[in-house]
Structure 1
Amino acid sequence: MPLRYFLTGLLGLPLLVTGYLWWTLLSPFGYSPPQELAPIAAGEHRVFVYGTLRYAPLRWLVYGRSGDPEPANLPGYRREGLDIRRDDEASVEGLLLRVDAGELARLDRYERLGIRYERVELPLMDGRLAWVYRRID
């Protein structure tokens, strides 16, 4: 009997993970952007990431490629869990991604823009502006 439960769990876990990833990243049911969000402009966008999106396999799952990120630093903030908080004495290390409008829309979906996170444009240490996701209070 215990072997049957083990095998069921062993087979069920990949299905559960696959279902979660489909629901979160691809399904039309998992996320509907709020109506008040501005449309995404065409062209290249710079996005500063400091959490899970620093990992290439996750970027590939979220927007279809790992990209060619470069190290970046966000001054005037400190990382606090899954968010950043204003702190003039600190800075946050992360990566700068270059994405197109479709990829930015997929990042917005992953971050649940307008529901869990907001996307704001902030200056990086080198002066370039980049989109940064911040938790909504």
Structure 2
Amino acid sequence: MIWLKRLVIGSLLCLAGLAVWLWLTMLSPWFYDRPEELPAIEQRTHQVFVYGTLRYLPVRWVVMGSSGSPEPARLHGFERQGLDLTASTGKYVDGLLLTVTPEALARLDRYEQLGIRYERVKQTLADGSSAWVYMRLPMVGQLNIPSPAQGVALLTYD
């Protein structure tokens, strides 16, 4: 019988840990500060094309607090590589079109770490409608910065 008590206590601790982690990453005032240079979110409904983890209902409920009324959608001219999109002629990415409130869009911005990890770009979908799409910002290691071997002088301080 002691094993049952340990199982119940362990399960409750795991659930509590999960709840704390979700709160910290999705709702807490820590771990993400919206960059000041980003424009304010317009107070209207928004269309958002999602193609990664946000295709799954439980993730959308945790992130946005709603389902977003998903509809199948397709984005032409891009190819999915992991959780990122790259421009690719003749390719397309299937996903979902969500209709979200300004509050839900702010929560999506936090989830995607808008201005830090992703940017939100208006794109035209296959059906002609336009929607926000989160595109990965270039990582420092992926930027095309010339090295000293390419004839760029480095500044040194004596």
- In the superposition, the TM-score normalised over structure 1's length comes to 0.91
Q: Distance in 2 between matches of 1:110 and 1:136?
A: 14
Q: Deviations over 1:109-131 (max 9, x none)?
A: 11111111110001100111100
> In the alignment, residue 112 of structure 2 is paired with which amino acid?
E
Residue 9 of structure 1, CA deviation: 4.6
Q: Report SS of the residue matched to 1:59.
A: helix
Matches within 5 A, 1:1-137: 9-137=10-138
Q: Distance in 2 between matches of 1:53 and 1:119?
A: 15
Q: Distance in 2 between matches of 1:6 and 1:30?
A: 32
Q: Alpha carbons of 1:5 and 1:135: their partners in 2 closer, same or farther (altered >3 Å)?
A: farther
Number of residues of Structure 1 aligned to a counterpart in Structure 2: 137
Superposition CA RMSD, Å = 1.9
Q: Which structure 2 segments of 5+ residues have no match?
A: 139-158
* Rg larger in structure: 2
Higher mean displacement: 111-120 or 60-69: 60-69
Higher strand proportion (structure 1 or 2): 1
- In the superposition, the TM-score normalised over structure 2's length comes to 0.79
User: Percent of aligned positions with the same letter in both sequences?
Assistant: 52
> In the alignment, residue 111 of structure 1 is paired with which amino acid?
E
Residue 8 of structure 1, CA deviation: 6.3
